Amino acid sequence: MKSLRLRKTLKLFHDGTESTQQDMGTLPKKKYDLGKRCFQFKKQYDEEAAAIGKRWDPKRKDWVQQKPKVGYLARTVREAYPSLARAANDDKEFQAAKQVVWRALQEYEKNIADPNAVDEVPRKKQYRQPGGGRKQAVPEVRQAVFQCIQLLLLPSTSTEAYPKCIRKYPGITRKSTLRQGLDLGSSLRSCMMPSKTGTVLKARDGTVIEQVSDFKYLGSFSNTAYDVSHRIGLAWGASHSLRKSHTTNTELYNGLPRITRVIRDRRLALAGHVMRHDEMAGRVLLWRPDDKRRRGRPSLTLKRVIEEDVGLQDGDLLSAMRDRAAWRNFSVTGRMTELKLNLDRPRPLEACHTGNRL
């Protein structure tokens, strides 16, 4: 509890704002004096540590040497050149190696694809380990920095000496033998200039670097209009590669008759079969009652449905239903003429009362 109160009091002194001074006035005098002495001691400690370049280690209870902060350029040098791994103990050698990389990047800044890539070198990307655990920060640079490191700093070193971020970069392909190192892909052998110049840029192996007005980076182009049209084309290509899910009725039925046509033919066959028999069902099939149908009853009757299917009414319909041959070959589209010709030759009712089925 004492240490917590001490840290809070020390924080109030360290802020130094107007509101903080008001809060300090409300503290008891004993705590106020204690916090003031702690703040003065901390300020004196920081000045002494900066003067001697050391820090106080509470575990060892002694002053220890402060390790210099390693930036991205220095980390790249150490991973690329194992012989400079001991540069951490020698500050002069460490700074010299760092300046070599920095001058090389500044010298070829105008020849790389993105001039702002050099200023964005110390970028970091957070990722989580596959097996779980906390996130770790790994260095990540742009395509232009990879070109500079590959063409200038690492022309003859082995593959294992390259930084891990370069070995995992997809734009650089590995050659057949490790002794030859790495080879830049075709997408990296190009540079974008602000204006067209007659200067011919060549790599160390003699390959001419093509000057382009636009280039593809991380799947997109700098020109928004061209990038949108390019993405639309890719989307249409993916759409055409998929199998069409829509199936037409012609493909679905595959020559089979429609179900409505089958139901209509069966209904007409049953109606003709009933009418040719001297039964009560045949008498009431075409019977029309005098009274009106009550509210809520269906508006269509079996007689009206048959009349709509055949296109005949009353006497003509009765004569057609009694003629078994004409009724069997009947269809609304093409058998109307044949049916009308048979209507002129009525048959007696007794002749229609046969036991044959359609």
pLDDT of residue 170: 38
DSSP state letter for 195: S
pLDDT of residue 176: 33
pLDDT of residue 84: 41
| Contacts of the segment 291-300: beta carbons below 8 A, 24+ positions apart | none
pLDDT of residue 69: 44
**Which helix or strand (DSSP H or E) is residue 174 part of?**
strand 172-174
pLDDT of residue 62: 72
DSSP string covering 220-238 = EES-HHHHHHHHHHHHHHH
pLDDT digits (tens, 9 = 90+) for 275-296: 888 778 887 887 877 778 788 8
Query: Could you count the other beta carbons within 10 Å of the beta carbon of residue 38?
Result: 16
CA 68/CA 88 separation, integer angstroms: 8
Residue 342, both tokens: 């048979």
pLDDT of residue 42: 59
pLDDT of residue 220: 75
Residue 42, both tokens: 């901390």
pLDDT of residue 132: 52
pLDDT of residue 229: 86
DSSP state letter for 219: T
pLDDT of residue 205: 65
Q: Which residues of the chain have pLDDT under 70?
A: 1-56, 58, 61, 63, 65-189, 193-197, 204-205, 215, 217, 243-244, 330-358
pLDDT of residue 37: 59
pLDDT of residue 312: 81
pLDDT of residue 66: 59
Helix/strand/coil percent split, the chain, to 5:
50, 10, 35
Residue 18, both tokens: 């107007």
pLDDT of residue 261: 84
156 and 185 Cβ atoms separated by less than 8 Å: no
Residue with tokens 């006035």: 25
